[in-house]
Amino acid sequence: MKYSKLFTKTLKNAPADEVSKNAQLLIRAGFVHKEMAGVYVYLPLGLRVLDNIKQIIREEMNAVGGQEVQMTVLQPKDIFEKTDRWDDAKVDNWFKTKLANGTELGMGLTHEEPIVDMLKDYMTSYRDLPLSVYQIQGKFRNELRAKSGLLRGREFVMKDMYSFARSQAEHEEIYERVAEAYHRVYGRLGIGDITYRTYADGGIFTKRFSDEFQMLSEVGEDTVFIDESAGLGVNQEIIDDARLSATNINKDNLKEFRAIEVGNIFPLESKYTDALGVYYTDETGNQQPIIAGCYGIGVSRLMGALAEHFADDKGLVWPESVAPFRVYLACIGSDDTVLTEADRLYQELEGSGVEVLYDDRDVRPGEKFADADLIGVPHRVVISPKTIEQGKLEYKIRQSGEAELISAKELLQKLGV
């Protein structure tokens, strides 16, 4: 993409009412536009990051047998009444609407009920199980507070997967495979070393623990206690000795941290399948309960968490796995030789499969460099009269700040093409 064709612009200042670093940086760098509190538009640069995060998640869910679907945002009232979750006294953050004929509908709060209802025609025999289905979709929750940028939204993007098994043992095998897939997701996003599987309360779903994946961060809303040697943690809500005794964590090894929840998985037992009358027939012809699990990752929340973590005083510093482009190519000066060489390199990189943001704007070098730092593309390449005179390119790594003069061939080697 040529920067001169990009309709967004960087800003010197974020809106005065934005207090979170992630929103300030993402707005200033032209990744998102604030529609209202907790609701953001993903602009071209932001959508590329969001799609890159989605693709990593998609690949890892597919690798553990997940099948992707796209569920509806509008949800029928009756299936939530069957599970006792329609009443606002039971679930207080619904967005609800009505059809012209007065029929009440819910709007994409969560999808346990619709997924089970959809699968009732397909999960009838023991031969149909186990099964895992997921989607990556917008969700709507009427949050009382929405002041943390992408970390807590009223409209947000989420991956939610649901597994269905013939037995508790089969469910637990799936559950652990998905937990490992979550670790791979966070590793590929560059936060594997600061994200911990954390015991949490199973709530109304199960007497067992649920599992949160908590990324250590000073801006996090959660308090967690981490055993770094074991690579595990516990949420503050279950720090009492009685609950800890059911885990394999030594309380003496725990350290207190603030953290951002970047994923959660939890057993559903047969709560929803029973409530909606969905069973399978075993080998002997008898009906049996279906054991379910739920696995969530807030995709847009992850984008905000990465923006919080991978940033410095100059701007964003995206990991290469999710950056909107791999290379920021800046052309300095209007000399025909410079323009020709910059155009040639742009075409060569694009032809080699390297995604490039080519800054061909007629603005001062300082403005280009400041925008490059703010946007946070991993590799910066500068072509100027000075570099052409030396037969080199100026190459800089955004994360380390290391800069050097190299040849075009050496650049391609560094980029692995």
- What DSSP string runs through 131-152? EEEEEEEEEE---S---SGGGS
* 143 band by pLDDT with thresholds 50, 70 and 90: confident
pLDDT at 206 over 80: no
pLDDT over 90 at 287, yes or no: yes
If you average pLDDT over residues 387-407, what whole number do you get? 94
Strand 255-269 to strand 222-227: parallel, antiparallel, or no bridges (unpaired)? antiparallel
Q: 89 vs 304, which has greater pLDDT?
A: 304
- Closest by CA position to 44, among listed 347, 325, 340, 403: 325
Is the predicted pLDDT of residue 205 greater than 80, yes or no?
no
pLDDT above 90: residue 154: yes
Question: What's the pLDDT score for residue 208?
Answer: 85
| Local confidence band at 250 (pLDDT 50, 70, 90 cut-offs) | confident
Does the domain spanning 11-312 belong to CATH 3.30.930.10? yes
Whether the CB-CB separation of 301 and 262 falls below 8 Å is answered with yes
3-state secondary structure of 374: helix
Contacts of 127 (CB under 8 A, 6+ apart): none
Average pLDDT in the 299-307 region? 98
Amino acid at 63: A
CA distance 259 to 301: 13
Closest CA to 198 of 260, 137, 144, 140: 260
What lies within 8 Å, CB to CB, of 39 at 6+ separation is: 146, 153, 154, 155
Share of the chain above pLDDT 70, in %: 100
Q: Where, residue-wise, is CATH 3.30.930.10 in the chain?
A: 11-312
Estimate the share of the chain in helix, then strand, then coil, as percent rounded to the nearest 5: 35, 30, 35
| Cross-strand bridge partners of residue 404 | 395
CA distance 263 to 198: 10
Mean predicted lDDT score pLDDT of the chain:
95
- Reported confidence tier of residue 174, pLDDT bands at 50, 70, 90: very high
Instruction: Say if strands 155-165 and 291-298 run parallel, antiparallel, or are unpaired.
Output: antiparallel
- Residues of CATH 3.40.50.800 domain(s) within the chain? 327-414
Average the pLDDT over 277-289 and give the result.
97
The stretch 48-67 carries a mean pLDDT of 98
| Residue 385 C-beta-side C-alpha neighbours within 13 Å | 5
Res 244: pLDDT? 84
pLDDT at 139 over 90: yes
CA separation for the pair 156, 331 (Å, rounded)? 37
**What phi, psi does 234 have (nearest 5°)?**
-135, 140
Q: Kindly state the average pLDDT of the residues 314-325.
A: 97
We find that the CATH architecture of domain 327-414 is 3-Layer(aba) Sandwich (3.40)
Name which of 126-140, 163-177, 191-205 the model is least confident about. 191-205
Predicted confidence (pLDDT) at residue 17 exceeds the cutoff of 90: no
Q: Identify whether the C-beta of residue 195 lies closer than 8 Å to the C-beta of residue 262.
A: yes
Question: Would you state the structure tokens that stand for residue 326, as one six-digit string?
Answer: 């791999």
Q: What is the pLDDT of residue 254?
A: 95
The band of 383, judged by pLDDT with boundaries at 50, 70 and 90, is: very high
Instruction: Give dist(CA 269, CA 370) in Å, integer.
Output: 53
| Burial zone of 208 (CB within 10 Å; 0-12 exposed, 13-18 middle, 19+ buried) | middle
| Cβ atoms < 10 Å from Cβ of 286 | 9
DSSP string, 210-274: EEEEEEE-TT-SEEEEEETTTTEEEEGGG-SHHHHTTSS--GGG-EEEEEEEEEEEEEEETHHHH
Across 129-134, average pLDDT: 98
Q: Is residue 14 scored above 90 in pLDDT?
A: no
* Collapsed DSSP state (helix, strand, coil) of residue 209: coil
Contact 359, 306 (CB under 8 A): no
Return the higher-pLDDT residue of 328 and 242: 328
The pLDDT, as a whole number, for residue 145 is 78
Q: What is the pLDDT of residue 15?
A: 80
* Range with the poorest average pLDDT among 47-56, 85-94, 212-221, 294-303: 85-94
Question: pLDDT tens across 220-246, in order?
Answer: 999 999 999 999 999 998 888 788 888
